[in-house]
Amino acid sequence: MKKALITGVTGQDGAYLAEFLLKKGYEVHGIKRRTSLFNTARIDHIYEDPHQTHRNFILHYGDMTDSSSLVKIVQKVQPDEIYNLAAQSHVAVSFEEPEYTANSDALGVLRLLEAIRILGLEKKTRFYQASTSELYGMVQEIPQKETTPFYPRSPYAVAKMYGYWITVNYREAYGMYACNGILFNHESPLRGETFVTRKITRGLSRIKVGLQSELYLGNMDAKRDWGHARDYIEMQWLMLQQEKPQDFVIATGVQYSVRDFVMRCAELLEMELTWKGSGVDETAVDTNGKVVIAVDPRYFRPTEVETLLGDPSKAKRELGWTPSTTFEELVKEMVEADYSAAQRDALVIKHGYKAFNVRET
Ligand code: NDP
Ligand code: GDR
């Protein structure tokens, strides 16, 4: 039975990947942080009671900023594969917490690679690094592929650039099977509520059922290449099953703006929106003239990534991979999940109970 260790197992991708690997027959180990409230909502459905004698899904406390915890876990698990998904993954937050972001997203990668090396597992343990399209930042070529030069535009992207190169360096220096997946944005109903897609599907759903009055957004014209997380985690696994380690761009090759995402979502919720004004004064109003969406400059970033479009032809050619979920299907799945949650919250409130998940993002 193969053993996999996933850092960031409580996150969007970690949850999908853990479920996927369990189905493939792996013994799956995950690293979770100590938090003051439960942080395992995304993996509760696959959780196994630690009092059982045999388990295929095992969680360990650890942190990317703490070498000793990482070394101990890698030593104990002796994994065949490590998927390094843990990161402070919010680009805007990285401007607020640049040092912590560098510690977890850059040095964290080094700590894990060193754990493999110190324990003499270079020939046994294969390593996947969650790299990102944010590396392209101020784009130097359209579409972006594996050979496109990087130009990071945030503390997050700069930290991830270190993670990318240290992975390449350990592959070349120590012959480790280590590779980067350069993944473009991927979303799902499990996406964190403060990323723009989920913020829109959740916010408009709550407005539709009367739980919220307005939704505030930042740059409406940013363009992204959005895929479904479920499709992308399969690629993370595939990358570790090849003869030789290589880096791959994973994307759909199709681009939409934040505004396109809003309009598709509104259409599904049967909300008719009209845009008014421009720049920081831009709003979207409903058929009664009531403001539903307003631009709030607090969501602008000091340096923005305006446009990203990936070229996944290497992954198609060499791994036989094509994404199976279209943009339309992605938005629909996310809207259905958030609309149903909003309806549930509205019902609970109507019957005199306080819904627990009412905070605006
Ligand atoms: P999430 O933000 O949903 O999950 C991040 C995970 O990392 C969570 O489990 C989080 O724990 C954990 N984590 C954060 N900091 C630490 C730390 N210091 N020590 C241990 N664990 C930590 O991200 P995604 O699932 O969306 O993304 C997975 C990875 O892929 C990330 O590295 C991200 O940067 C990268 N990526 C994501 C893309 C996307 O579009 N989703 C695209 C390209 C790259 P907790 O639950 O406790 O917060
Ligand atoms: P991104 O995702 O920065 O691409 O990073 P996010 O959804 O945060 O932003 C996408 C674009 O939307 C614009 N935007 C807003 N963003 C947020 N979060 N909130 C808003 O209100 C808002 N309004 C407009 C942003 O300015 C941006 O242009 C994600 C993360 O998952 C990273 O970890 C990952 O590496 C990259 O995708 C690929």
Q: For residues 219-242, give the mean pLDDT.
A: 98
Residue 261 alpha carbon to ligand 2 centre in Å: 12
Pick the atom of ligand 1 nearest to 10's CA. 9
Comparing 35 with 358, which gets the higher pLDDT?
A: 35
Q: Is 329 an active-site residue?
A: no
Q: Residue 220: which residues within 8 A CB-CB, separation 6 or more?
A: 257, 258, 259, 262, 282, 295
Best of 90, 95, 191, 196 for a ligand 2 pocket test (most atoms within 8 Å of beta carbon): 196
**Bigger pLDDT: 74 or 54?**
74
Q: What is the mean pLDDT of the chain?
A: 97
pLDDT in tens, 238-285: 999 999 999 999 999 999 999 999 999 999 999 999 999 999 999 999
How do residues 183-206 score in pLDDT, each as one tens digit?
999 999 999 999 999 999 999 999
Q: Where are the alpha helices (DSSP H) in 181-322?
A: 196-208, 229-239, 258-268, 313-319
Q: Which ligand is nearest to the CA of 133?
A: 2
Residues 60-90 have pLDDT tens digits of 999 999 999 999 999 999 999 999 999 999 9
Q: Which ranges constitute the DSSP H helices of the chain? A: 12-23, 67-77, 91-96, 98-102, 108-118, 155-174, 196-208, 229-239, 258-268, 313-319, 327-350
DSSP one-letter code for 144: B
Domain 196-223+256-304+326-351 in this protein, CATH class:
alpha beta
Closest CA to 250 of 267, 274, 225: 225
HEC assignment per residue over 81-139? EEEECCCCCCHHHHHHCHHHHHHHHHHHHHHHHHHHHHCCCCCCCEEEEEEEHHHCCCC
**pLDDT exceeds cutoff 80 at 9:** yes
Is 272 annotated as catalytic? Answer: no
Two tokens at 280? Answer: 């920081």
Cβ atoms of residues 218 and 297 within 8 Å: yes
Residue 52: the pLDDT is 87
- Among residues of the chain, what percentage have pLDDT more than 70? 98
Task: Give yes or no for residue 359 having a pLDDT over 80.
Answer: no
Question: How far are the Cα atoms of 4, 55, 56, 119, 225 from residue 1, in angstroms, in the given order?
Answer: 10, 12, 10, 21, 36
pLDDT band at residue 50, thresholds of 50, 70 and 90?
confident
Residues 255 and 124: their CA atoms lie apart, in Å, by 39
- Which residues have C-beta within 8 Å of that of residue 260, sequence separation ≥ 6? none
Whole-model pTM over 0.90 = yes
Q: Where are the domains of the chain?
A: 3-188+227-254, 196-223+256-304+326-351
**Tokens 């909003």, residue?**
342
User: Is 358's pLDDT higher than 70?
Assistant: no
Distance CA 177, CA 172 (A): 9
Span of 40-44, 111-115, 170-174, 348-352 with lowest mean pLDDT? 348-352
Q: How far is the CA of 52 from the centre of ligand 1 (A)?
A: 29
Ligand 2 centroid to Cα of residue 91, in Å, is 7
pLDDT digits (tens, 9 = 90+) for 116-129: 999 999 999 999 99
Nearest CA to ligand 2 atom 4: 185
Residue 83 annotated as catalytic: no
Residue closest to 273 by CA, chosen among 263, 282, 264: 263
Give the per-residue pLDDT at 356.
65
Q: Is the CB of 103 under 6 A from ligand 1?
A: no
Average pLDDT over residues 104-123: 98
pLDDT at 293: 98
Query: What CATH number labels 3-188+227-254?
Result: 3.40.50.720
How much is the ipTM here? 0.99
pLDDT at 340: 98
The residue whose CB lies within 8 Å of the most ligand 2 atoms, and thus the one to mutate among 185, 200, 201, is 185
**What does the block give as tokens for 188?**
């799902």
Q: What was the pLDDT predicted at 49?
A: 87
Higher pLDDT, 359 or 43: 43
Please report, for the chain, how many H helices and E strands are present, in that order: 11, 15
Assess contact for 269 and 248: CB atoms under 8 A. no
